[in-house]
Amino acid sequence: MERKMNVYLSSAYLAPVQYYAKLYACEKAFVERYDHYMKQTYRNRCVIAAADGPLTLSVPTEKPDTLKCLMKDVRISDHGNWRHLHWIALESAYRNSPFFEYYQDDFRPFYEKKYTYLYDFNEELCTLICRLMDMRPCVERTCDYLSAEDGQAEDFRDRIHPKRNWREDDRFTAVPYYQVFEERHGFLPNLSVVDLLFNMGPESLLVLRDCCRG
């Protein structure tokens, strides 16, 4: 059996399946708090399967006081009524999925409560998703920036990225599973983990296991 590895991960909003496959397979995950915040990454966005195809949902953030703001200090903005819009988008996309009704009361509070910091919002959502999947990863929040050269872990902080091809990851395979709009769009790989959870429910963990067999 292949030895489990440690991984470095960025904070992520409803991260893609690839991210959760790392949490499933790792010995320990270090979730970075001290990297410089970058827009157009999974730190504040996710992709779901809507009726018209892939849909990106982005959490707006306040403009930082400095050019290089640490991830742990990034504040969520109330701009654009985004909480309501995200919840309506999730409800519209997944209300006909097998498990949305079962899990919706777990997720709805995240779109009713106001969180100050993006990192805290992301991590509490991640904790919920792991619990619902019955997954117990060993996760550690960083206390300082961790260098990729220290050899402690494999670095996925910028490798799991909307603009990078997930196929470059030879330890991840996007295993197909049931999706609500598959007949319309075909299988859409590596979407937000909520796509997997709402469609597969308790079997999500089995899908993550198979995704790690790449």
* 56 three-class SS: strand
Cβ burial of 180 (10 Å; 0-12, 13-18, 19+) is buried
Residue 200 located in a structural domain? yes
Q: What is the pLDDT of residue 39?
A: 87
Tell me the pLDDT of the chain (214 aa) as tens digits. Answer: 355 789 999 999 999 999 999 999 999 999 999 999 988 999 999 999 999 999 999 999 998 877 789 999 999 999 889 999 999 999 999 999 999 999 999 999 999 999 999 999 999 999 999 999 999 999 999 999 888 777 778 999 999 999 999 999 999 999 999 999 999 999 999 999 999 999 999 999 999 999 996 5
Residue type at 127? Answer: T
Residue type at 208? Answer: L
Element (H, E) at 9: strand 6-9
pTM equals 0.95
- Are 1 and 213 in contact, with CB atoms under 8 Å apart? no
**What total number of domains does the chain contain?**
1
Residue 1 located in a structural domain? no
Residue 87 located in a structural domain? yes
Residue 80 located in a structural domain? yes
Residue 73 located in a structural domain? yes
Beta bridge partners of 76: 61
Q: What are phi and psi of 105, to 5 degrees?
A: -70, -20
Containing domain of residue 124, as a range? 6-211
Q: What is the pLDDT of residue 112?
A: 96
d(CA 84, CA 104): 14
**DSSP annotation string for 125-143:** HHHHHHHHTT----EEE-S
Residue 160 located in a structural domain? yes
Residue 203 located in a structural domain? yes
